[in-house]
Amino acid sequence: MTTNPFKYGTVVTGKDFCGRYELLGGIVKHIESAQNIAIIGERRIGKTSLVREAARKTKGLRTLYVDFFGVKSIDAMCKRIIHGITLMEKKETWITKIIKAIPYIRPKLSVDPLTGAISLTFDASTELREESIPGILSLIEKLANEKPLVAVFDEFQAILDINDSHEALGLLRSTIQFQSDVPYIFAGSIRHKMDWVFSSPDSPFFKSAILINIDSLPYFEYSKFLMGKFRTGKRTIRDEFMQKIFEMADNVTGDIQQFCEALWEVTPEGAEIKDTNIADALTLIFARERNAYENYLSLLTDLQQKCLMAITSEGGKNVLSARIAKASGAANPSSVRKAVSRMISLNILFEKGKEVQFANPFFRAWLVRRGG
């Protein structure tokens, strides 16, 4: 039996990476010329995979990967960078060098007794402040001089959630701008935040990187790739069903693949996919994610839940219209606005241009199936 060939929720590279040839070529060139770039795209569209694949395709280069998701302080931000460095420099001798280069943060080397993996731990009382930022970043340059690297700062917009975000950005920028031989890639998903960081004259990072917007993989290319994967398990799927899947997943690269993974699970080898299989796949996704959905709902007030239901039926184009207020029983559009901003901050909804959309299209489908 062939194992499920679909991958979602993880970074995909190599044979699991579909298309984006021109973008990849362009990014590789930028990396080679140490040009800093910023990759902006919606959630689960394929940003991290694109950056990882481009870094992998650039010859003779290693990747320093730092994920800033959820950081709320300069201390956490600095520790994430150091963690990224230790993941790249797995050898003990290197890590000892790192400890020597930044003695003031008093890191300790620890070795996992089971796997032998080395990591750095910090004294809980050591709080890193803004003055540590230049030192930690110069460490990146030092390491790059020993052996070339590309530094990937993922979910970079999270820096804006730090209390002293302006100061943090200023210090990052003032150090990075002198590292002309080190290519930096900044990736992020919350468009208006990333746009502000790189395009607002008030931001320390104003015009400091070439902006690259990424969109969903085009239907023609991605559907062919996915159909090929179904064929490896002798399943066939007609174009009309493929189109339906893209539509249900709001055209989002990762969500489409999540649906295909479930569809594979509910079909036997040799199957020709039918309507009922599509429904079964959705049921499987609901069963797996039900706890998370109920959890989202438990975080919401009655009015917020009603607004959410109104958006499932009326769409998210014009959430401040009287229709949404009426459908949700809100006193006025301004209470709807409050409810919607809370759901945006909880990552249940997100803003796409002037519209709001569900961050997870299957959650919306679940709400619709259960009728609120």
Residue 120 is given by DSSP the state E
Smallest gap from Cβ 222 to ligand ATP, in A, equals 7
Pick between residue 12 and residue 327 the one whose CB is nearest to ligand ATP. 12
- Token digits of residue 301: 């007030």
Angle CA 109–114–119, to nearest 5: 20
Beta-strand relationship, 149-154 and 349-352 = unpaired
For ligand ATP, the binding residue among 58, 208, 257, 305 (CB under 6 A) is 257
CB count in 10 Å sphere of residue 276: 9
Interface stretch with ligand ATP, choices 13-21, 103-111, 265-273, 306-314 (CB under 6 A): 13-21
Binding of ligand ATP by 56 (CB under 6 A): no
Q: How many residues bind ligand ATP (CB under 6 A)?
A: 23
Binding mask 41-60 for Mg ion (x = CB under 5 A): -------x------------
Smallest gap from Cβ 56 to Mg ion, in A, equals 15
For ligand ATP, the binding residue among 28, 30, 36, 47 (CB under 6 A) is 47
Pick between residue 189 and residue 304 the one whose CB is nearest to ligand ATP. 189
Q: Are 265 and 2 in contact (CB under 8 A)?
A: no
Site for Mg ion in 71-110 (CB under 5 A): none
* b/e code 32-43 from CB counts within 10 Å (16+ = b): eeeebbbbbbbe
Judge residue 55's burial from the number of C-beta atoms within 10 Å of its C-beta, 0-12 exposed, 13-18 middle, 19 or more buried: buried
Residue 246 is given by DSSP the state H
Interface stretch with ligand ATP, choices 1-9, 165-173, 228-236, 363-371 (CB under 6 A): 1-9
Binding mask 65-104 for ligand ATP (x = CB under 6 A): ----------------------------------------
Q: Are 69 and 158 in contact (CB under 8 A)?
A: yes
Smallest gap from Cβ 210 to ligand ATP, in A, equals 18
Contacts of 212 (CB under 8 A, 6+ apart): 23, 26, 27, 37, 38, 39, 40
Pick between residue 41 and residue 107 the one whose CB is nearest to ligand ATP. 41
Interface residue list for Mg ion (CB under 5 A): 48
